């Protein structure tokens, strides 16, 4: 649940263990979720940790939220409650005025009657939710950043392809990294670019022929050729294909709509990829530039965060510490950049490697709540 993940990061200790529901609570109807009787049946409002039971008494699916009045901050949510179904929501409530908000499928959300709770027991964390409209602006800004980055990507990939075409593989080894990093800075995690990502930056995993599979294409295919002594002719077809795919992505991108609700997910997903594939060395096909890629991914993450910053500031108390941790990862990675030549992963000292892994892991724990905090709630 959202509050739990916020608590985890903030180190708040007020999260008491929710008391298990007493046997009598496990049957019968709960608080009604419907367009006509939203919030009715909240018979025993009290402070402290508890399970609230909701029953969808409408004819279509619904979402239920526990909000405070009049601010509308959300304390708990239940998605996709089917008609006729009763489910429990663990929640902690302090003294205050609350109401149930019913978002019944294809209807505007309704707020039920106010309920007053007294007592000294502290409440759980709450969040003034964002909606889809709030995220359109940041999504557009991010798209602008990517559009600019794609121009750089095409230019640098063209340089790489030209070096390969000339048969100058030594030069190509030098121009490969700037082109690859231009792509990695875009933050192409988890389907942002659809099938283009697999073609441009895919690994041989999942291909029956591995590195020799005809469907293994893109930067890592070119990398494999350049660092495994393949002939210029062999590398050329891979580099030409890469340039073609990169151009196709640039041409296609203006037609692609980035779903705004995906943007908050990217805040941690870009670096999840980094931890899984770069810091393990899994994506390396010979260039030894995993740490350079990690640094480019960090830059992509920063841009994601920058466009979300205005929404995050009033909602995410750990934002300053997140920024501090971003800088810590940055300086640890920069220390491995020796004038454009990066320490290969396997040459890192044990201490340096642990420091980087630890700092990235810590940063990820701080970035993850951004996805749940900025998840659009209530109306589409």
Distance (Å, rounded) from C-alpha 35 to C-alpha 12? Answer: 36
Residue with the two structure tokens 């030069």: 171
Binding of another protein at residue 272 (CB under 8 A)? yes
Binding of another protein at residue 279 (CB under 8 A)? yes
Binding of another protein at residue 361 (CB under 8 A)? yes
Q: Is residue 279 exposed (0-12), middle (13-18) or buried (19+ Cβ within 10 Å)? A: buried
How many other β-carbons are positioned within 10 Å of the β-carbon of residue 216?
21
Minimum CB distance to another protein smaller for 127 or for 239: 127
Residue with the two structure tokens 């692609």: 256
Minimum CB distance to another protein smaller for 236 or for 268: 268
- DSSP-derived 3-state class of residue 64: strand
Distance (Å, rounded) from C-alpha 228 to C-alpha 212? Answer: 12
What is the C-alpha end-to-end distance of the chain, expressed in Å?
A: 21
**Contact region with another protein (CB under 8 A), list: 179-187, 199-207, 240-248, 333-341:** 199-207
Distance (Å, rounded) from C-alpha 336 to C-alpha 345? Answer: 10
How many other β-carbons are positioned within 10 Å of the β-carbon of residue 80?
11
Minimum CB distance to another protein smaller for 56 or for 175: 56
Pick one of 324, 334, 358, 379: the residue that binds another protein (CB under 8 A).
358
Binding of another protein at residue 343 (CB under 8 A)? no
Distance (Å, rounded) from C-alpha 173 to C-alpha 223? Answer: 8
**Number of residues that this document lists for the chain:** 380
Q: Where are the alpha helices (DSSP H) in 51-168?
A: 132-165
Binding of another protein at residue 328 (CB under 8 A)? no
Pick one of 207, 211, 232, 317: the residue that binds another protein (CB under 8 A).
207
- DSSP-derived 3-state class of residue 101: strand
Binding of another protein at residue 261 (CB under 8 A)? no
Minimum CB distance to another protein smaller for 100 or for 150: 100
Binding of another protein at residue 82 (CB under 8 A)? yes
Pick one of 268, 287, 292, 308: the residue that binds another protein (CB under 8 A).
268
Structure letter (DSSP) for residue 34: S
Binding of another protein at residue 205 (CB under 8 A)? yes
Distance (Å, rounded) from C-alpha 363 to C-alpha 68? Answer: 31
Pick one of 2, 74, 93, 291: the residue that binds another protein (CB under 8 A).
2
Exposure on the CB side of residue 90, measured as CA atoms within 13 A: 12
**Contact region with another protein (CB under 8 A), list: 130-138, 162-170, 304-312, 359-367:** 359-367
- DSSP-derived 3-state class of residue 41: coil
Q: How many residues bind another protein (CB under 8 A)?
A: 42
> Do the beta carbons of residue 360 and residue 368 sit within 8 Å?
no
Q: Under rule CB under 8 A, which residues in 100-119 are in contact with another protein?
A: 105
Binding of another protein at residue 364 (CB under 8 A)? yes
Pick one of 119, 281, 314, 320: the residue that binds another protein (CB under 8 A).
281
Pick one of 14, 159, 237, 372: the residue that binds another protein (CB under 8 A).
372
Binding site for another protein (CB under 8 A): 1-2, 4-5, 60-61, 77, 79-82, 85-88, 90, 105, 190, 203, 205-208, 268, 272, 275-276, 279-282, 354, 357-358, 361, 364-365, 367-368, 371-372, 375
């Amino acid at each position: 649940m959202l509050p739990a993940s916020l608590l985890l990061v903030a180190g708040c200790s007020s999260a008491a263990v929710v008391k298990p529901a007493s046997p009598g609570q496990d049957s019968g109807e709960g608080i009604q979720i419907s367009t006509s009787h939203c919030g009715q049946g909240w018979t025993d409002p009290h402070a402290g940790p508890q399970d609230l039971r909701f029953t969808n008494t409408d004819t279509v699916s619904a979402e239920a939220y526990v909000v405070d009045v009049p601010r509308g901050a959300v304390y708990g949510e239940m998605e996709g409650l089917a008609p006729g179904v009763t489910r429990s929501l663990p929640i902690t409530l302090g003294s205050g005025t609350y109401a149930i908000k019913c978002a019944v499928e294809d209807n505007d959300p309704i707020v039920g009657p106010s309920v007053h709770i007294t007592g000294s027991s502290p409440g759980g964390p709450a969040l003034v939710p964002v909606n889809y409209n709030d995220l359109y602006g940041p999504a557009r800004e991010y798209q602008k950043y990517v559009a600019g980055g794609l121009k750089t990507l095409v230019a640098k990939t063209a340089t790489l392809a030209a070096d390969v075409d000339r048969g100058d593989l030594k030069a190509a080894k030098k121009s490969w990294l700037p082109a690859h990093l231009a792509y990695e800075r875009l933050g192409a995690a988890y389907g942002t670019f659809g099938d283009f990502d697999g073609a441009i930056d895919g690994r041989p995993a999942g291909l029956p022929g591995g590195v020799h599979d005809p469907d293994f294409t893109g930067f890592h295919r070119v990398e494999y050729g350049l660092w495994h002594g393949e002939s210029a002719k062999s590398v050329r077809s891979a580099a030409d294909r890469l340039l073609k795919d990169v151009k196709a992505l640039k041409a296609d991108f203006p037609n692609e709509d980035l779903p705004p609700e995906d943007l908050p997910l990217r805040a941690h997903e870009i670096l999840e990829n980094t931890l899984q594939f770069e810091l393990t060395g899994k994506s390396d096909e010979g260039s030894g530039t995993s740490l350079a890629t990690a640094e480019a991914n960090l830059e992509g993450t920063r841009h994601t965060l920058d466009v979300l910053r205005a929404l995050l500031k009033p909602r995410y108390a750990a934002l300053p510490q997140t920024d501090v941790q971003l800088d810590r990862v940055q300086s640890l990675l920069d220390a491995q950049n020796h004038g454009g030549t990066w320490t290969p992963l396997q040459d890192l000292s044990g201490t340096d490697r642990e420091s980087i892994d630890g700092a990235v892991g810590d940063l990820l724990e701080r970035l993850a709540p951004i996805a749940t905090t900025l998840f659009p709630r209530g109306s589409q």
